Amino acid sequence: MTALPATRGPFRMHGRRMAGAAFFGLLVAVVPAARAQRLIQSSEIGALAAGPPDQRIQYGPGPEQFGNLRLPKRSGPHPVVIFVHGGCWLSAYDIAHAGSIEQALADSGFAVWSIEYRRVGNDGGGWPGTFLDVGRGADYVRELASKYSLDLNRVVASGHSAGGEFALWLAARPKIPSSSDVFIANPVKIRGVVALAPAPDLEALESAGTCGRVIDKLIGGSPVDFATRYAAVSPMQLAPIGVPSALIVGGQDKGFGPNGRSYFAHAQQAGDRLVKLVEAPESGHFELIAPKTSTWPIVIREVKAMFANLR
């Protein structure tokens, strides 16, 4: 696919609120203790947009089937972060608010391939288009590797909120049966996951009616009605995924924090010894993607540690 002009589309907000230890297998307590501070609200995350990426590249023919590529200043081959933005899986929340974290990761020495995808409310969004877009978008990094000096032996998936669910799912794709609508043969190999405020327990979110019952719209119905669909896309059912994973959860994230912790407990019970939970005590839901907050050093520390363990 050809590169598009690296212009930034408008960030659309509809007033909804998106609702040091051994590395693996442990709950990591992060110090200092939480202090009172004003948390970033969903209505403010448009300010997290950044300048245009180095390249905006189509991985498919549709208007939402593109990615932002940001490259570090030094020469390659570059370790790669495949990033997936969040936003309750809804079309109201686009890729623009991921701009700041994309650039901060690139400035820290990583190539960032940040994926846009069809969401609930977009033509073709929901089942199975949303998942196929995320999978195909991630796999498109292979097409970029030679031209942009990307190291396909060092690929880590990351994402925020709904994107954190996708990051875990990308790593788990080898477990998806070939009979599934979202099966893609020979997916790109994900060597590690850094999931920020992830929402991996889709069953619990569906039961709670999260984000205007968005999970029903995303999957097509309940886990009772579509058991095989949930089995193919919910990290809760795909655990253990067999890939080193760091789940970073805001200590003040009352909406999605419990969901990430629930997945961690379940993954451990399922025998996953490659997963760890990192508490960010001063963070709500959005501080994790805001590089100027006190939470950012925790995030970049975990990203660097993940790549360091790949050597």
pLDDT at site 37: 64
Give the chain as a DSSP string.
Answer: -PEEP-PPPPPP--S-------SSSSEEPPSSPP---PPPPGGGGGGG--SPPSEEEESSSSTT-EEEEE--SS-SSEEEEEEE--STTBTTS-GGGGHHHHHHHHHTT-EEEEEP---BTBTT-STTHHHHHHHHHHHTHHHHHHHHTEEEEEEEEEEETHHHHHHHHHHHGGGS-TTSTT--SSPPPP-EEEEES----HHHHHHHTHHHHHHHHHHSS-TTT-HHHHHHH-HHHH----S-EEEEEETT-TTTHHHHHHHHHHHHHTT--SEEEEEETT--SSGGG-TTSTTHHHHHHHHHHHHHTT-
The answer, yes or no, to whether residue 25 has pLDDT greater than 50, is no
pLDDT at site 298: 97
- pLDDT average, residue stretch 5-28: 36
**Superfamily name and number for 25-30+48-308:** Alpha/Beta hydrolase fold, catalytic domain (3.40.50.1820)
Residues 151-182: tens digit of each pLDDT: 999 999 999 999 999 999 999 999 999 999 99
pLDDT at site 127: 98
pLDDT at site 310: 86
Average pLDDT, the chain: 90
The answer, yes or no, to whether residue 196 has pLDDT greater than 90, is yes
pLDDT at site 134: 98
Residues 219-252: tens digit of each pLDDT: 999 999 999 999 999 999 999 999 999 999 999 9
- pLDDT average, residue stretch 253-265: 96
Does the model's pTM come out above 0.75?
yes
